[in-house]
Amino acid sequence: MTLLELDGLSVAYPAGQRWARAVRGVSLSVAAGEVVGLAGESGCGKTSVAMSVLRLLPRTAKVTGRIRFGGTDLTGATWGELRAVRWAQAAVVFQGAQHALNPMHRIGTQIAEPALRHGLVTRSAAAAHAADLLQRVGLAPELARDHPHQLSGGQRQRALLATALSCSPRLLIADEPTSALDSVSQAAILGLLRELAAERGIGVLLVSHDLGALAAVCDRIAVMYAGRIVEQGSAEAVLGDPAHPYTEALTGAATVIGDPATRYAPRSLGGAPPDPLSTAPGCAFAPRCPHAGPDCGGEIPLRPAGPGRLVECVRVAS
Amino acid sequence: MTGWRPLLPAAAAGTTLTALGLLSLTVPAARTLPGNASGPHLAPPSARYPFGTTDTGLSVLDLVVFGAHRTLIIAALSTALALGVGTATGVLAGHFQGWPDRVLSRFTQWVLVLPQLPLAITIAAVLGPGLAQLSLAIALAYWPATARVVRAAVVATESLPHLERARALGAGHWRQIRVHTWPAVLPVVITCTTLTLGNALLSEATLSFFGLGDTTSVTWGGMLQDASGIGAITAGAWWYLLAPGLAITLVVMVCSIAGRSTEAALGRHQAHGLLLRRPRWRRSAAGEPAGPEPV
Amino acid sequence: MRAARVAGTLLARLTGVLFLGFALFHLLPGDPVSALTRGRPVTTEDLATIRAGFGLDLPLWKQFTSYVTALAHGDLGTSLAAHRPVADMLAERIGPTLLLTVSATVLSVTVGIATGVAAGWRPRGIGDRVGTGAAIVLWSAPTFWLGMLLMAILGVAAGLFPIAGMRSTESGGGGVLDVAHHLVLPCITLAAVQYAQYHLLIRSAVAAERHAVYVTLARAKGLPDALVRWRHAVPNAMAPTLSLVLTNLGFVVSGAVTVEAVFSWPGLGDLTFEALRGPDPPVLHGTFLLLCGSVVTADAIADVVLRRFDRRGGTT
């Protein structure tokens, strides 16, 4: 069952007199029990996609396209309808747990708060609820009485995940949940996400720049470049046999565990991502692409390349 | 970079201040104190006397224009003194660090905690009346704010690579300060100047009200004291108070706008800027990881 | 030990105030007594009395030891005008000053938080423009001038409030309501000046917190806007605000001194004013020591309180 469906989503931020187009027509879906990865470099628009689902972007951001969640259209939802969906249906694990937890409140209070406010637990049951969630993410229930600064980075990230599970959501949006962690904590958090999807049928949208992390847990992966999804498909297919030159470059830049050659000589990408203010037509990756030709400046079709696989490149034969 | 737009209010305020300064310097040359009181005594505002007259029949507006000269000179003198002491202390403390820093910083911190007005009042009272004494009293109460801010700015530049390089190449202290520290500190000093100028004006007025002002000439604070001295309030002669008070308020306001907007434009407090707000979210919301933030 | 360090700093600062008091009234080149009394009708005998009172005729080290000994015994000399011990005069002025500063602080903090939060939450909105504009004007106006205007408009023209003193009768009667009636104008004046500071500080602190990740998280949790604001953003904005305000007690005291002088509110500020008019150097010396000493002490207490309040101090 499809939980989340993004259709032609675009996000633009005002930049002086012009618009910085962070997301340019993204279509993506997440089904129940599925872990979908959203990969890309810093600044490619993946956080904007993640934040637009619950309409958490700044007021000045211009969002167009459709965001459908469980059959309802969130783009036209009133603030009241939106509040009912927020956390009760879909929750977010923010990047940087250090800043995402309120420094003034105790961990337990923060974890139980959404369930309490959405009327899912009573005030007297809130403490037990928080303890329960802490245990589920592998933390000692005693931590509920601590303040965020008393926790380690890995503990904070787990606490944030516990907060996200407070209302038993159907969809989890995890924005770089592991990027600030050591590899042991990273593996534990990713394992938890995988478990939640498999055992409780939660849909997970995992946003990360770390292809290794995505490869470990995702069913499907979408690769973003300059506000567009340039390639999506099953995790093995996209990472094992990249079709888009950008994906190819990304997988080349990532180190492969067990293969020292990739660590010593990573294939780096020349050039820099394009200016978000640019309105030039055609493939945004063309200036950095080793295979670019004159036909890259025109309209780029989205081409199917295998089962469930879409690639946005003129070089790919359909 | 911030571009020119955020500097607009600062530039406007700076221009106003400069114009005011020039005006106050030229006014006394152009006209003398309207000593021959020709108007009615303590008359309310009228077409001929837009801000009314004093008890001696002088136009309040004329007096305010005339008083700008001495008022601004006192403010400028005390600001110059306060900034000189403050900047010197801040640069020395920040540059040499170690024990000079500890001693100077503790001293600065101590004066900063003391209530400025009782301090200025007592110093002014002990020094006696006069333009120089008054300016000194104000400066002694208001220098620490500058010292603290300047010290922080110097400390921030001390660890920059180009200064370490200069040190490694054997540049002397004087050269390090003149060539490397000073340019980085200058914007901070400019901000402090405007804010201290405003404080100095307010202090001049308050000290005059307490009878510690410069009684040899007309100042805005002195006018307010005269007004209260002849019982203008109980007599219902509010106009005697209005013009000098408005003049002080306006100039102080221009100063604080200038200070705050330079500060904001220089990006020292981005989101704390008062008149200019640079949207901070733009960086993190556009999908980039948030930059290093203070913990 | 943190407590020991605060106590040490406090002790050093109080000693500093003591030295400053001594230096101002004993050491200054020239003769502070004649400076203080210049242009006033003082007889030669008066001058001699003042000099002897400060011990200015003794050698310097003797002056200092007797100064410290006297202070240790709570002896601040005798007022020239009232012929009473300065310490007694100070003691009876503390109550009114506290009443004025505390009531004005409560008023200005309440209003400042309300308008500052509203302005910071929606910067550039109409509320922000009006509130912040008003704050800048109040911030820029001389305190005593505001007081005189209020006195002229609400006191004299409208006749709503008494314009001077704390009680209607000299004997000290009049009851609580009478004192409250007298308190209105001084309190509003002092609050107006402080209000600007609270408003501007809270406004910028809230505006800065508004885009903090945990505020977005609170919104994502489905909390209504008021809860996001008051439960999450505001408490975090209060820590920097409180620290700035508490470390700026000197500003509050300076304001109170001025307001008291304008409204003849019988506190320490009014006493300072009288001492300047007198001239009454022993009293001026006494108010100087008391005002500076209490602000320095209050600052140390504020420091301790703040450390407790701000949980963000520690990191992993």
How close does chain B come to A103, measured CA to CA in Å? 10
Which of C243, C234, C228, C247 lies closest to C207, judged by CA? C234
Residues in chain C closer than 8 A to B259 (CB atoms): none
Rounded Cα gap, residues C238 and A69, in angstroms: 38
Interface with chain A: mutation pick from C221, C315, C316, highest number of A CBs within 10 Å: C221
Give the C-alpha separation, B245 to C139, whole Å: 13
Minimum-distance CB partner of A94 among C211, C217, C236: C217
Q: Name chain C contacts of A143, Cβ cutoff 8 Å.
A: none
Nearest to A284 by CA among A74, A81, A23: A23
Euclidean distance between CA atoms B194 and B191, whole angstroms: 6
**Residues 81-110 in C contacting B (C-alpha not used; CB under 8 Å):** none
Question: How close, in Å, is residue B206 to chain C by CA atoms?
Answer: 7
CB A164 within 8 A of CB A93: yes
Cα distance between the two ends of chain B: 25
Q: Does B205 touch chain C (CB under 8 A)?
A: yes
Helix, strand, or coil here: A31?
A: strand
Q: Which of B118, B20, B150, B132 is nearest to B78 (CA)?
A: B132
Q: What angle do CA A7, A9, A14 make, to 5 degrees?
A: 170
CB atoms B286 and A96 under 8 Å: no
CB–CB of C78/C85 below 8 Å? yes
Q: Report the alpha-carbon distance of residue C93 to residue C90 in Å, rounded.
A: 5
* Residues in contact with C23: Cβ distance below 8 Å, sequence separation at least 6, in sequence order: none
Mutate which of A81, A86, A101, A102 to test chain C, going by most C C-beta atoms within 10 A?
Answer: A102
Taking a contact as any Cβ pair under 8 Å apart, which residues of chain C between 230 and 259 contact chain B? 247, 249-251, 253-255, 257-258
- In this predicted structure, the answer to whether residue B190 has a pLDDT above a threshold of 50 is yes
Q: What is the 3-state secondary structure (H, E, C) of C83-104?
A: CCEHHHHHHHHHHHHHHHHHHH
Q: Which residue of A has its CA nearest to C214?
A: A100
Q: Do C17 and B209 touch (CB under 8 A)?
A: no
Q: Which CATH number fits domain B56-277: 3.90.1200.10, 1.10.10.410, 1.10.287.70, 1.10.3720.10?
A: 1.10.3720.10
Tokens of C142: 């001389």
Distance of alpha carbon A72 from alpha carbon B140, whole angstroms: 68
Q: Helix, strand or coil for residue A232?
A: strand
Q: For A20, which of B281, B286, B290 is closest by C-beta distance?
A: B286
Q: Cα distance from C297 to chain B (closest Cα, Å)? A: 10
Buried b (16+ CB within 10 A) or exposed e, A191-221: ebbbebbeeeebbbbbbbbbbebbbbbbbbb
pLDDT tens-digit map of B112-139:
888 888 899 889 888 888 888 899 999 9
What are the beta bridge partners of residue C85? C78
Region of poorest pLDDT, from A266-275, C12-21, C197-206, C217-226? A266-275
Q: Compute the distance between CA of residue C142 and CA of residue B204 in angstroms, rounded to an integer.
A: 10
B248–C273 C-beta distance less than 8 A? no
How does pLDDT run across A193-218, given as a tens digit for each residue?
Answer: 999 899 889 999 999 988 888 888 99
Position C60 pLDDT exceeds 60 = yes
Average per-residue pLDDT for chain C? 81
Q: Which tokens is B246 given?
A: 């408005």
Considering CB atoms only, which of B282, B287, B289 is closest to A45? B287
Q: Does A35 touch chain C if contact means CB atoms closer than 8 Å?
A: no
CA distance A21 to C228: 29
Q: How far is CA C101 from CA B191, C172, C258, in A?
A: 30, 21, 12
Q: What amino acid is encoded at B208 in this protein?
A: S
Helix H, strand E, coil C: the string for A81-133 is HHHHHECCCEEEECCCHHHHCCCCCCHHHHHHHHHHHCCCCCCCCHHHHHHHH
C16-35 residue pLDDT tens: 998 888 888 876 655 656 66
DSSP secondary structure string for all residues of A169-192? -SEEEEESTTTTS-HHHHHHHHHH
Distance, in angstroms, between B36 CA and closest chain C CA? 26
At A15 the pLDDT is 83
* C-alpha–C-alpha distance, residues B274 and B260, integer Å: 6
Give the burial string for B232-248 (b: 16+ CB within 10 Å, else e): bbeeebbbbbbbbbebb
Q: What angle do CA C237, C242, C246 make, to 5 degrees?
A: 165
Check whether B1 has a pLDDT greater than 50: no
Q: Is the pLDDT of residue B28 over 60?
A: no
- Encoded amino acid at A6, one letter: L
What is the distance between the alpha carbons of residues A74 and B81, in angstroms, rounded to a whole number? 62
Residue A258 vs residue C76, higher pLDDT: C76
Picking from B281, B289, B295, the nearest residue to A42 by CB comes out as: B289
Least confident range from B12-26, B94-108, B134-148, C16-30: namely B12-26
Neighbours of chain A (3+ CB pairs under 8 A): B, C
User: Are A4 and A53 within 8 A, CB to CB?
Assistant: yes
Q: Report whether B143 contacts B86 (CB < 8 A).
A: yes
Confidence label for B81 from pLDDT (cuts 50, 70 and 90): very high
* Those residues with Cβ within 8 angstroms of residue A18's Cβ, 6 or more apart along the chain or in another chain: A277
C-alpha distance from residue C8 to each of B15, B131, C249 (Å): 48, 39, 20
* Banded pLDDT at C129 (limits 50, 70, 90): confident
Based on DSSP, count helices (H) and strands (E) in chain B, helices before strands. Answer: 11, 0
pLDDT band at A262 (very low <50, low <70, confident <90, very high): low
The amino acid present at C244, given as its one-letter code, is L
- Rounded Cα distance, C47 and C63, in Å: 17
Interchain proximity C38–B128, CB inside 8 Å: yes
Provide the pLDDT confidence category of residue C314 given band limits of 50, 70 and 90.
very low
Asked if B154 has any chain C CB less than 8 Å from its own CB, the reply is: no
Distance CA A216, CA A179 (A): 14
Asked if residue A106 has pLDDT above 80, the reply is: yes
Name all chains with 3 or more CB-CB pairs below 8 Å to chain B.
A, C
| Better-scored residue on pLDDT, C140 or C278 | C140
Strand A62-69 vs strand A171-175: parallel, antiparallel, or unpaired? unpaired
Over the stretch C140-198, which tens digit does the pLDDT of each residue have?
889 889 988 888 888 777 777 777 777 776 655 667 777 788 888 899 999 988 888 88
CA of residue A98 relative to chain centroid, distance: 18
SS3 label, residue A245:
helix
Say yes or no: ipTM exceeds 0.90. Answer: no
pLDDT of residue B78: 92
Which pair of tokens denotes residue C109?
């903090």
Residues 6 or more apart in contact with residue B24 via CB below 8 angstroms? B68, B69, B71, B72, B73
Cβ-Cβ contacts under 8 Å between A and C: the total is 73
